[in-house]
Amino acid sequence: MMVSKDNFSKEELEESVDVERIIQSIEQDDLEGFRSYFLGLHRYEQAEVFLSLDESLHSKLYHYLSPDEVALFMDNIDPDEEMFERIFDRIDSIYAADILTEMSYDNAVDILSVLSKEKVASLLVLMPREDAKEMRALLNYEEDSAGGIMTTEYISVPQDITVREALIVVKEQAPEAETIYYVFVIDHHKELVGVLSLRDLIVNDDDEYIEDIMVKRVVSVSAMADQEAVALKMRDYDLLALPVVDYQNHLLGIITADDIMDVIDEEASEDYSKLAGVNDIDNTTDTFLQVAKKRLPWLIALTVMGMITASILGQFEETMAKVALLAAFIPIIGGMAGNSGTQSLAVAVRGISTGEIKEASKMKIAMREMGSGFISGLVCGLILFVIITILYQEVILALIVAISLMLAMTVATLAGAIVPLVMHKFNIDPAVASGPFITTINDIISMLIYFGLATTFMSYLT
């Protein structure tokens, strides 16, 4: 789990960690007291403490800790562009390069990707040649691709050695590997040909050959695959690590379960923000201008679309003038259509995101949602028909409102299901079909239905 300035509570931190003791140790130059307490904390707690400290205290903290000790908790901090720019501007370049060298390659590259190109270049020059080479290679991949989240620190063994020899290789590679539970088998061309678990190596005879005991059908992903597709594959196959290969099946790296947990959290936040009609989840540290900048594009678009609804109402001005009571039921029909459409949208987007909705089942889902909308609309329409008839003694008006509500809710649920499915078909993120967007579309449709029926049966109303 990654820590950011927005996902921890200072109050919760102070319940489990004596932050004041750490601050006092730093301010009083109590090196031994600081190291004794701070290094006894879990890495996650160390990261939380680091983020909670005033940045003026960071420089002293670096003097008390070695680069490899800082790297341990830096691995647990979510990369934030502004924060890491400030942090690495204040750290001695050699010390900063040593921190990144000690970190997992994938996490170090996440930090490098948010720094300026000049800073990245200066840090890479100061790193050992092999580490710098690995990080440069990872920086070439898109941030949200399999290559962008993989690590090159894994265990691999040749297929033509014995279990005894493989265990020696595993022991040699284990200190640098991100996980030791899977051992990947490669041939002389570094092509991925099999996989073993650590258990397989332990329980099999020492003289058995790896190629005889390995699992030959290996689940892998392309380096260009989207991180969301990677997360679904790891979930479906219940894997702790997933190998990443190129187009020739050469093993490039692996993606571990902890990285995928961060991806799932990131994708869920992204989908939620789009469903809410904003470009990104607002950070608690954002200023009111930054928040407004994120929200304005959608709000401006929805304002323009709202004018379409207003113009539709203007076209039926004569109808409303003759039967003023029609206006009283606009919020009910528009609101119910919007609510039912948003419910259908949420089901469709979730089904697409989790992979539950397959190509063959899309039409079935659309028909199911339309049927659900029809039944819901029929029930709500009957209730509204009874209420209007009792309160206003207007049977025809009650019938128009009831039928309009039924049709509006039917069309709204169908639209809520179809719009994200169509977007997904054209490789557009279905979460873009946000709640406010669908609600506005359904307002337009419901008003056309309502006033179209009212105009048609005007002679019975007056």
The CA distance from 118 to 40, in Å, is 36
Cite the beta strand spans of 98-250 per DSSP E: 156-158, 182-186, 192-197, 221-222, 241-245
The CA distance from 240 to 252, in Å, is 17
Q: Which two tokens stand for residue 184?
A: 């990947």
pLDDT digits (tens, 9 = 90+) for 262-315: 777 777 666 666 655 555 555 555 677 877 777 777 778 778 878 888 888 788
CB neighbour list of residue 341: distance below 8 Å, 6 or more residues apart:
412, 413, 415, 416, 438, 439, 441, 442
pTM: 0.64
CB distance 81 to 38 below 8 Å = no
Please tell me which residue, 9 or 402, carries the higher pLDDT value: 402
Q: What is the pLDDT of residue 135?
A: 92
pLDDT digits (tens, 9 = 90+) for 141-193: 888 889 988 988 999 999 999 999 999 999 999 998 988 999 999 999 899 99
The CA distance from 138 to 254, in Å, is 12
pLDDT digits (tens, 9 = 90+) for 196-222: 999 999 999 999 999 999 999 999 999
Residue recorded with tokens 């049977």: 395
Q: Please report how the helices 362-392 and 330-354 are oriented relative to each other, as an axis angle in degrees rounded to 10.
A: 160
Q: What is the pLDDT of residue 102?
A: 92
From edge to edge, which strands make up the β-sheet containing 251-256?
221-222, 241-245, 251-256
* DSSP secondary structure letters along 170-237: HHHHGGG-S--SEEEEE-TT-BEEEEEEHHHHHHS-TTSBHHHHSB-S---EETTSBHHHHHHHHHHH
What mean pLDDT comes out for the span 445-449? 89
